[in-house]
């Protein structure tokens, strides 16, 4: 949030102000995805930003035997990928851009 407050090109922003419906690939039921941020830049461009740890953006390495941890991580990865697909389409239809930011983009170690 400090990043948005301090960024010169950011005119306005809000946090988790709207939801995007999606069908989960795990249980096939409808769910609601609340993106982390909506941002309006000084040039009028609108962004929807999701902040995630970098490790949530790559599939977990499959262990020799399936563990509960691996299954949990794989479920998180698959659901996140679906959310991102739906958010990308939603933003395209609304004339906005969808962006995923990790600790790298935010300068966090």
Question: What whole-number percentage of the chain has pLDDT above 90?
Answer: 77
- Picking from 36, 49, 38, 51, the residue whose alpha carbon sits closest to that of residue 98 is 49
Question: pLDDT digits over 54-98, tens only?
Answer: 888 999 998 899 899 999 999 999 999 999 999 999 999 999 999
Residues 6 or more apart whose CB falls under 8 angstroms from that of 84 comprise: 50, 98, 100
Residues 6 or more apart whose CB falls under 8 angstroms from that of 60 comprise: 70, 73, 74, 77
């Amino acid at each position: 949030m400090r990043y948005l407050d301090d960024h010169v090109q950011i005119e306005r922003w809000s946090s988790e102000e709207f939801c995007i419906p999606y069908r989960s690939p795990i249980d096939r039921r409808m769910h609601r995805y609340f993106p982390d941020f909506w941002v309006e830049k000084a040039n009028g461009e609108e962004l929807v930003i999701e902040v995630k740890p970098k490790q949530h953006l790559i599939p977990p390495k499959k262990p020799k035997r399936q563990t509960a941890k691996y299954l949990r991580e794989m479920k998180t990865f698959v659901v996140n990928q679906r959310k991102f697909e739906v958010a990308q389409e939603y933003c395209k239809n609304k004339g906005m851009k969808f962006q995923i930011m990790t600790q790298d983009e935010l300068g966090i170690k």
